[in-house]
């Protein structure tokens, strides 16, 4: 057999640059399906598979856009064009032709016995090969099914049905736990004090009164408008799907910090362990939280500050906790990492909400609200834990209470007293994630009632399960 291209030459530098760029792709990439810690870049996998299959002296040819005739193409240029995320269809088809030419009887079989996230077998399939993937890890196996098997077996209809059943799950979860994520009155439009009445004379009315008048007029206008025509796109620009009425904002993120008590016996203030308080960094538009002593309580308070230039803040939003060490904002005592770990292991580490990030329907941009400046809803953990117990009793689905094992170099949370996987979530996060899990089970049962073919229902439910797992990654107390 002639030497393969991989034995002679691959444009490593160009492929490495494209592989590096691929890491930033967050839409349409298999890495967004589920986290896999050793995923190989698709473009590098494509290069390896292609170069291992064709002879070193292969001569690719493509249609010249100028002459409309086939013209020789250097293998170097061809490999660079082939190993791009946005590979052109004609380049990909030429790669398949070269492989067919090398294997005229049957498509070559490509076996990856340690397939992991499935990059190599996926690229083998893309190049027209017959791919086989194996892995002992069950998460990898599920990723491979969802990446390699189900899309080929069921086609585009599968994506539509996953979306349909995903919305089915989302609607039921929202109905069950949506009360834990209530809408907030927009402080820039609707005053918190409902007794405020507008100035009867628009000329000279105050800012608050003017906003209240606009609010009332908009409410009346909204009541007078006819129903939206079928097909109109009424989804908020931010991508949320809940119905947010005018004058309210929808929370999309809650920013918390862990806390410990100041070691100074005279002070004993609550010390936030926050490293930085940046909320938005944009040229001419910067938002951060100022951390100042609370006027009446023995703790620090957070206040939203805006500035065109970060120098105008009067403080450095990135100069708080460093290398695990903090400073008490009241007495100036050092709160070192050793003390923080001891407090955590003793169960004396607390939490404090710093801000709620909100969006308005139909309006781009985010609104940042601090609980020290606005009356924001805070979850009642006792009530939520009672709901978790009721869900467990009803379904048998339990919180992930297994102990976190292994080396603290791999998983550091036991150093701070977070010894079980359930410790990594707030009560509200746990209830929401358990509700998603329960509802995915219910979705599968509903598919069976509708007599959807069992293997197809299993495929749809696999993707719903992967989505729930993604939520667990995003919705924990140690997420970034």
- Burial zone of 256 (CB within 10 Å; 0-12 exposed, 13-18 middle, 19+ buried): middle
For 9-48, write each residue's pLDDT tens digit: 899 999 999 999 998 887 888 888 888 888 899 999 999 9
Residue burial 363-400, b: 16+ Cβ < 10 Å; e: rest: eeebbbbbbbeeebeebeeeebeebbeebeeeeeeebe
What is the per-residue pLDDT for 80?
93
Report the alpha-carbon distance of residue 19 to residue 41 in Å, rounded.
6
Torsion of CA 199, 204, 208, 213, to 10 degrees: 50
pTM value is 0.81
Q: Provide the β-strand partners of residue 349.
A: none
Per residue, the 3-state secondary structure of 353-401, as one string, reads: EEEEEEEECCEEEEEEECCCCCCCCCCCHHHHHHHHHHHHHHHCCCCCC
Task: Pull the structure tokens for residue 143.
Answer: 């990723």
Beta bridge partners of 271: 260
What does the DSSP assignment read for 219-283? HHHHHHSPPPPTT---S-TTS--S---TTEEEEEEEEEEEEEE-S-TTT--EEE--S--EEEEET
Predicted pLDDT at 67 = 62
In order along its 480 residues, the chain shows pLDDT tens digits of 579 999 988 999 999 999 999 988 878 888 888 888 888 999 999 999 999 999 998 888 877 666 666 767 788 899 999 999 999 999 999 999 999 999 999 999 999 999 999 999 999 999 999 999 999 999 999 999 999 999 999 999 999 999 999 999 999 999 999 999 999 999 887 554 443 333 333 444 454 454 444 444 433 333 333 333 333 333 344 445 457 888 899 999 999 999 999 999 999 999 999 999 999 999 999 999 999 999 999 999 999 999 999 999 999 999 888 888 899 999 999 999 999 999 999 999 999 999 999 998 877 889 999 999 999 998 999 999 999 999 999 999 999 999 998 887 778 899 999 999 999 999 999 999 999 999 999 999 999 999 999 999 999 999 999 999 988 888 899 886
Say what the pLDDT of residue 23 is: 87
Contact 376, 311 (CB under 8 A): no
Spatial distance between the Cα atoms of 226 and 204, rounded to a whole number of angstroms? 34
pLDDT tens for each residue of 408-464: 777 889 999 999 999 999 999 999 999 999 999 999 999 999 999 999 999 999 999
């Amino acid at each position: 057999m002639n030497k393969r291209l991989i034995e002679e030459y691959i444009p490593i530098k160009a492929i490495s640059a494209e592989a590096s760029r691929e890491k930033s792709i967050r839409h349409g990439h298999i890495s967004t399906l589920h986290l896999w810690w050793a995923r190989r870049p698709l473009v590098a996998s494509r290069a390896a598979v292609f170069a291992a299959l064709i002879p070193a002296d292969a001569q690719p040819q493509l249609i010249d856009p100028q002459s409309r005739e086939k013209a020789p193409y250097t293998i170097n240029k061809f490999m660079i064009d082939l190993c791009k995320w946005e590979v052109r269809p004609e380049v990909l088809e030429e790669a398949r032709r070269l492989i067919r030419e090398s294997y005229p009887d049957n498509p070559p079989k490509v076996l990856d016995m340690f397939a992991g996230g499935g990059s190599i077998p996926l690229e083998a399939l893309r190049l027209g090969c017959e791919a086989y993937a194996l892995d002992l890890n069950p998460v990898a196996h599920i990723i491979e099914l969802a990446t390699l098997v189900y899309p080929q077996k069921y086609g585009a209809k599968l994506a539509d049905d996953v979306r349909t059943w995903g919305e089915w799950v989302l609607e039921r979860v929202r109905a069950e736990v949506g009360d834990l994520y209530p809408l907030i009155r927009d402080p820039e439009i609707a005053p918190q004090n409902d007794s405020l009445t507008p100035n009867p004379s628009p000329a000279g009315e105050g800012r608050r009164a003017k906003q209240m008048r606009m609010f009332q007029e908009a409410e009346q206008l909204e009541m007078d408008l006819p129903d939206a025509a079928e097909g109109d796109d009424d989804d908020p620009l931010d991508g949320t799907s809940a119905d947010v009425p005018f004058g309210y904002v929808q929370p999309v993120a809650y920013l918390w910090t862990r806390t410990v008590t100041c070691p100074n016996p005279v002070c004993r203030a609550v010390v936030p362990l926050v490293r930085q308080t940046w909320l938005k960094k944009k040229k001419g538009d910067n938002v951060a939280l100022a951390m100042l002593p609370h006027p009446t309580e023995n703790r620090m308070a957070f206040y939203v500050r805006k500035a065109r230039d970060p120098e105008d803040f009067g403080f450095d939003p990135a100069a708080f906790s460093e290398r695990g060490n903090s400073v008490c904002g009241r007495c100036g005592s050092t709160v070192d990492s050793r003390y923080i770990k001891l407090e955590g292991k003793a169960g004396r580490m607390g939490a404090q909400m710093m801000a709620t990030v909100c969006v308005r329907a139909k309006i781009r941009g985010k609104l940042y609200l601090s609980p020290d400046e606005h009356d924001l809803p805070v979850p009642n953990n006792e009530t939520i834990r009672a709901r978790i117990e009721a869900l467990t009793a009803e379904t048998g689905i339990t919180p992930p209470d297994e102990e976190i094992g292994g080396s603290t170099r791999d998983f550091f949370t036991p150093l701070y007293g977070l010894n079980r996987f359930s410790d990594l979530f707030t009560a509200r996060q746990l209830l929401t994630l358990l509700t998603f899990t329960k509802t995915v089970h219910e979705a599968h049962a509903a598919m069976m009632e509708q007599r959807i073919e069992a293997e197809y229902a299993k495929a749809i439910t696999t993707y719903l399960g992967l989505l729930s797992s993604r939520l667990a990654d995003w919705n924990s107390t140690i997420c970034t």
